[in-house]
Amino acid sequence: MKSNTKSKIIILITLGILFALIPKITINPSFITGNSDVTNLDNENLKISAVSGKIHIINNSGWVDFRNAGNCTGSGTYSDPYVIEDLVIDGGSSGNSILIENSNVYFKIENCTLYNTEWGSDAGIGLLNVNNSQLIGNDCSYSQVGIVLGDVLDYSGGCYNNTITGNIVNNNRGGMYLFDSYNNTISSNTANNNTWSGIYLVGSNYTVVSGNTMKDNKMCGINIGGGHNNVIVSGNIISENYMQGLWMDESFNNTISGNIIDNNNFSGICLIDSNYNVISGNTANNNNECGIVLFYSNYNTISGNTANNNKYGIILYNNGYNIVSGNTLIGNDECIVELNCQGNVIQDNDCTTTPSLNYLPSILIISTAIIGVSVFMIYKNGRKFKKPQEDLDFL
Condensed to tens digits (0 to 9), the pLDDT of residues 130-158 reads 999 999 999 999 999 999 999 877 777 89
Name the residue among 83, 78, 174 with its Cα closest to residue 126.
Answer: 174
Rounded to whole angstroms, the Cα distance separating 148 from 288 reads 31
Burial 87-101 (b: 16+ CB within 10 A, else e): bbbbbeeebbbbbbb
Say which residues have a Cβ less than 8 Å from residue 115's Cβ, sequence separation at least 6: 38, 41, 89, 90, 91, 97, 124, 139, 140, 141, 142, 143
**Amino acid letter for position 316:** L
End-to-end CA distance of the chain: 65
- Reduced DSSP (H G I as helix, E B as strand, rest coil) percent helix, strand, coil of the chain, to 5: 20, 35, 45
Could you tell me the CA-to-CA distances from 12 to 89, 222, 238, 287, 375 in Å, in that order?
44, 19, 21, 13, 53
DSSP run (H or E) holding 101: strand 98-103
With 80 as the cut, is the pLDDT of residue 227 above it? Answer: no
The domains of the chain are located at: 1-31+238-354, 33-196, 361-391
pLDDT at site 375:
42
Residue 365 binned pLDDT confidence (cut-offs 50, 70, 90): very low
Rg of the chain on CA atoms, in Å:
27
Predicted local distance difference test score (pLDDT) of residue 9: 62
- 128 vs 391 pLDDT, higher one: 128
Max mean pLDDT range (45-59, 320-334, 377-391): 320-334
- Distance, in Å, from the CA atom of 327 to the CA atom of 285, rounded to the nearest integer, reads 12
The whole-angstrom distance between residue 338's C-alpha and the CA centroid of its chain comes to 26
User: For the residues 230-253, what does the mean pLDDT come to?
Assistant: 96
Residue by residue, DSSP assigns 329-364 as --S-SEEEEEES-BS-EEES-B-PPPPPGGGHHHHH
Q: What is the predicted pLDDT for the residue at 332?
A: 97
Average pLDDT over residues 47-59: 78
Mean pLDDT score, 179-202:
96
Average pLDDT, the chain: 83
Q: How confident is the model at residue 379 (pLDDT cuts 50, 70, 90)?
A: very low
The structure's pTM equals 0.81
CB of 85 within 8 A of CB of 127? no
Give me the mean pLDDT over the 205-219 stretch: 96
Reported as a single tens digit per residue, the pLDDT across 275-319 is 999 999 999 999 999 999 999 999 999 999 999 999 999 999 999
| Weakest-pLDDT range from 6-20, 305-319, 366-380 | 366-380
